[in-house]
Structure 1
Amino acid sequence: MPDLSSWEAVVAHALTLPGTELGTYYGGPAVRIAANGRPLVTPSREADSFGLHIDQDSKLVLMETGPETFWQTPHYDGYPCVLVRYNSDDPERVADTIERARDWAEALKPAASRKKA
């Protein structure tokens, strides 16, 4: 059973997945997809959770079938990111969902680079 009980543990797990790297997202730490710069996991302002970047359809299913683990604040409404509680009773499902999210993010076009002013 994977240990996903802290930000450090989530990062360590995500970095074992092919094609991931440590980076930043909006100035904060993140695990990103190396090929396209897309975020995979990011910390959350909610102390008990991290952000998992995943497609909207999967996000809605996760929140419906596992609301004690997968949830959102109004800030994430309509955005392809779901909050995931560190203290989940099903860390295997969380680990599998991180892997599925990696596959989704890897298939996306490269993130738009910001133009310098």
Structure 2
Amino acid sequence: MKDWAAVVAAGLALPGVEQGSRYGRPALLFRGRMLAATTAPDPASFVLHVALPDKEVLIDTDPATFWETDHYRGWPAVLVRYGTTATGRIATLLARAWWDRATIAQRRGYGERP
């Protein structure tokens, strides 16, 4: 994702995702819960909700894109740098964050977990 606008475009393509805010900063929300937000400590990154086991793999396999600070250690969120070549992977992770928060009926309508 080259910038927050690209993240928003990918997020709004998912059913029921809305723009909102977290801690006074722009965010993508689904069913009132954060999928992604601009609350990263570095303006060249954003925060993306991910499962903890996935987070470790992401940071280990692509540290140029995915990283964390002590503040995010132990939380199901990873920091993502804008402008890397991982656009497809990031879009998949955003869809996975949506799927993890979806109702059973929404999951059925969407299909398998990304």
Q: In 2, Cα distance between the equivalents of 1:99 and 1:106?
A: 10
Structure 1 length-normalised TM: 0.79
Please state if 1:7 is matched with 2:4: yes
Judging by fraction of residues, say which structure has more helix: 2
One-letter code aligned to 1:53:
H
Is residue 17–residue 99 contact of structure 1 (8 Å, CA) maintained in 2? yes
Q: In 1, Cα distance between the equivalents of 2:83 and 2:42?
A: 13
Residue in structure 1 matching 2:49, options 43, 49, 53: 53
Q: In 2, Cα distance between the equivalents of 1:106 and 1:71?
A: 26
Q: Which runs of 5+ in 1 are unaligned?
A: 108-117
Please state if 1:71 is matched with 2:48: no
Q: Which runs of 5+ in 2 are unaligned?
A: 104-114
SS of the residue 2:14 aligns to: coil
Q: In 2, Cα distance between the equivalents of 1:106 and 1:25?
A: 20
One-letter code aligned to 1:20:
V
Q: In 2, Cα distance between the equivalents of 1:85 and 1:15?
A: 20
Q: Would you identify which runs of 4 or more consecutive aligned residues in structure 1 move more than 4 Å?
A: none
Structure 2 length-normalised TM: 0.81
- Aligned CA RMSD, in angstroms, stands at 1.4
One-letter code aligned to 1:57:
P
Q: In 2, Cα distance between the equivalents of 1:24 and 1:106?
A: 20
Match of 2:111 in 1: none
Offset of residue 45 of structure 1: 2.5
Match of 2:106 in 1: none
